Each structure stands twice: as C-alpha cells, then as structure tokens.
Amino acid sequence: MMPVVVVHGGAVQVPEERAEITISGVCSAARSGYLVLEEGGSSLDAVVEAVVQMENSPYFSAGCGSVLNVKGEVEMDAIVMDGKTLGSGSVSAVRDIANPVQLARLVMEKTSHAFLTAEGASKFARSVGVPEVSQESLITEYSRMFWKKNLLMSREKMGTVGAVAVDKDGNVACATSTGGMPNKMEGRVGDTPCVGSGGYADNQSGAVSATGHGEANMRVTLSRLILFHMEQGQSAEAASDLGLAYLKSRLGALGGVVTVDPQGNWTSRFSTQQMPWAAAQNDTLHYGLNSGEHFRRSFSEQH
Ligand SMILES: NC(=O)C[C@H](N)C(=O)O
C-alpha cells in the first residue's frame, strides 16, 4: 500500500493566463498534503492541509477567491470525511471565516452533529476560537470582476477544490471546499457539503472528492455512486468513469473527481475539457490540466 494525496482545483475551463499558476497551486497543495503523511499525519490531516492551501490561494473558488452569489457576497460550503470511522463534518453558507474546511473538521470532531449552516456555523466557529474575517478579505478583484461579468452575460465558472488521501495505515479521507456556483441565489447549497455528493470516504472501498454542477452531482450522489461501483469490483478509474458517464447520460451534466482506493491506487477523471489536478506518491508528483494530460516529475525537480 502506497500513501498518496490527490487534489483537484475544479472541473472548469481555466483562462489561459491563469493556467500555469493554477497548476502550480494544485501541485503545491498535493505536495504539502503528502508532507503531512510523510511526517506521520493521517489521511484526514493530509486532505485538510491540501484544501486549506487552495482555500488560501486566490486562484481557486474556495475560501479567498470564492465566486460570489447574486448579491455579490461570499457564501462557502465544505465537507470532510474520515473513512476509518465514517465520521463526517460539513458547513454551508458560511461567510466570515478563512478556511471552511477546518470548520467542517471541527463540526465532525467537536459536535454531535454532521452539518452546521449559515449563522449557526459562524456562532460555532466563534465558540471554538476560529477567527472571524471580513467579507472583503475573501473577495478578490477577479471574483468581483467575474461576478459583474456573469451578471451581464456568460455562465463561466471557477474551480471548487478537493482532495483525497490514503495514509500508511490504509485509512482514506476526503475534503472538498467551494464558493459554489457563480451568481447563485442567496442560501443556495450545492453538492460540496452533502455527504455522498461532494465527497465520501470509507475504508472499505475508497474516497472521492467531486466537482461540477452541484445540482446535478447531488441528484446522482456522485461520490457515493463511484464508491458503489468500486464495491462491485471496479477499479478507481473505471468506477469514476462510470459515475461521470451516468451523470452525463442521465442529466446531461459534466463534472470531475479525484478517487483513491485503500491500497493507494488513485485516479483523476473529468468529463469537462479541463480540470487542474495533482497527485503526490512515492517521491513523484503527477499533474495535468487538459483531458488526457499526465505529466510527472520527481519531488526534487523544480517546477
Ligand atoms: N465548481 C464547482 O464544482 C461548484 C460546486 N460543485 C457547486 O455546485 O457548488
């Protein structure tokens, strides 16, 4: 069994001028998650670390840089799940914290609940000492510009982030975090924080983190569907393709996933044209953006 961390930066079209920085963002997130594993951390520690890095980057739609709702405000959703215990924690519609994925983990570890939303989630955050941040600190010039442009015309998207990992004990975990769909209604919650849709982790089959059109992903419970296929004997790659094919044939929707099994086999699959992804395993960094792309380099090589 080989420990691994696999991350994605959303199944969306990345503007050409942002391609390189987005790729280096997913690579450094996968690498940081992997370092956590090397230092003896669990798969849960690794996925949270990788996702925090991408939330802190303004180049992804999660944490700082999140796409804005119809009112031009940030409302973020996140999930974590621990495949060893089937423990999960989610938050939705949070507006005033920097790292929703850490709050999701706190929901899992410090409450008897699995999901807190909006003001209740913020009150809980304050009660456990998570610092409050201003909306302004989460909004970037780009997300504001993107919001205005979206209000006028296109339905362009920006990328949700997610990670799956297997640690040396064969425990799997997933984490996913997002600003949601651009110009969403106030209070809209997508697939990301919903168990089985935006992510799922079970040591008996594997872990998935999903991205795409949330309303569609939810209706097929995409992550759980993929793990169902793995339980039926499919490989991580074949199961991911089956799940994405069902999403497309049944609802005409496109999406993407990163998937691992407890043996450390992993894959990154998407039906969109692009999805920035990276995987770190055995001193090698794997990464890609366009469909069919798979680059490799050793950890010692500079990007
Ligand atoms: N870009 C995304 O993956 C969006 C996310 N799945 C949502 O619907 O909220």
Which of 75, 79, 160 for mutating ligand 1's site (highest number of atoms within 8 Å of CB)?
A: 160
Q: Is 211 in the pocket of ligand 1 (CB under 6 A)?
A: yes
Closest to 259 (Cα-Cα) out of 79, 88, 8: 8
Least confident window among 103-112, 138-147, 231-240, 291-300: 138-147
Q: Is 160 in the pocket of ligand 1 (CB under 6 A)?
A: yes
What's the CATH number where 175 sits?
A: 3.60.20.30
Q: Give the model's pLDDT for residue 150.
A: 72
Residue 303, in any domain of the structure: no
- From the alpha carbon of 61, which atom of ligand 1 is closest? 1
At 221, the pLDDT band (50, 70, 90 cuts) reads very high
Structure tokens at 283: 């001193």
Q: Give the model's pLDDT for residue 300.
A: 79
CA distance 11 to 217: 12
At 11, the pLDDT band (50, 70, 90 cuts) reads very high
Residue 170 annotated as lining a ligand binding site: no
Please confirm, yes or no, whether 284 is among the known catalytic residues. Answer: no
State the distance from the centre of ligand 1 to the C-alpha of 76, rounded, in angstroms. Answer: 10
Which helix (H) or strand (E) segment holds residue 286: the answer is strand 284-290
Residue 32, in any domain of the structure: yes
Which of 213, 251, 275 for mutating ligand 1's site (highest number of atoms within 8 Å of CB)?
A: 213
Q: Which residues are paired to 195 by β-bridges?
A: 199
Which helix (H) or strand (E) segment holds residue 261: the answer is none
- From the alpha carbon of 179, which atom of ligand 1 is closest? 9
Q: Give the model's pLDDT for residue 149.
A: 78
Beta strands in 97-171 (DSSP E): 115-117, 161-166
For residue 303, is pLDDT > 70?
Answer: no
- From the alpha carbon of 215, which atom of ligand 1 is closest? 8
Helix%, strand%, coil% for the chain, nearest 5: 35, 25, 40
Structure tokens at 180: 């949601």
Residues contacting 236, CB < 8 A, separation 6+ = 206, 230, 259, 260, 261, 265, 266, 267
Instruction: Identify whether the C-beta of residue 76 lies closer than 8 Å to the C-beta of residue 177.
Output: yes
**DSSP state letter for 130:** P
Query: For the segment 145-195, what is each residue's pLDDT rounded down to a tens digit?
Result: 888 777 665 555 568 999 999 999 999 999 999 999 999 999 999 999 999
Query: Across all residues in the chain, what is the average pLDDT?
Result: 95
At 299, the pLDDT band (50, 70, 90 cuts) reads confident
Q: Give the model's pLDDT for residue 146.
A: 81
Residue 190 annotated as lining a ligand binding site: yes
Q: Is 33 in the pocket of ligand 1 (CB under 6 A)?
A: no
Residue 104, in any domain of the structure: yes
State the distance from the centre of ligand 1 to the C-alpha of 197, rounded, in angstroms. Answer: 11
Residue 16, in any domain of the structure: yes
Least confident window among 127-131, 148-152, 289-293: 148-152
Average pLDDT over residues 270-283: 96
Range of the domain at 37: 4-298
Q: Give the model's pLDDT for residue 157.
A: 58
**DSSP state letter for 154:** -
Residue 156, in any domain of the structure: yes
Termini Cα distance of the chain:
27
Provide the domain count of the chain.
1
Going by CA atoms, what residue is nearest to atom 9 of ligand 1? 180
Q: Is 157 in the pocket of ligand 1 (CB under 6 A)?
A: yes
Say which of 22, 160, 178, 267 is annotated catalytic. Answer: 160
Q: Is 281 in the pocket of ligand 1 (CB under 6 A)?
A: no
Q: Is 69 in the pocket of ligand 1 (CB under 6 A)?
A: no
CA distance 19 to 15: 6
Residue 45 annotated as lining a ligand binding site: no
State the distance from the centre of ligand 1 to the C-alpha of 75, rounded, in angstroms. Answer: 12
Q: Is 203 in the pocket of ligand 1 (CB under 6 A)?
A: no
Residue 213 annotated as lining a ligand binding site: yes
More confident call, 99 vs 302: 99
282 φ, ψ (degrees, to nearest 5): 55, 50
Helix (H, G, I), strand (E, B) or coil at 251: helix
Closest to 4 (Cα-Cα) out of 48, 36, 52: 36
* pTM flag (> 0.95): yes
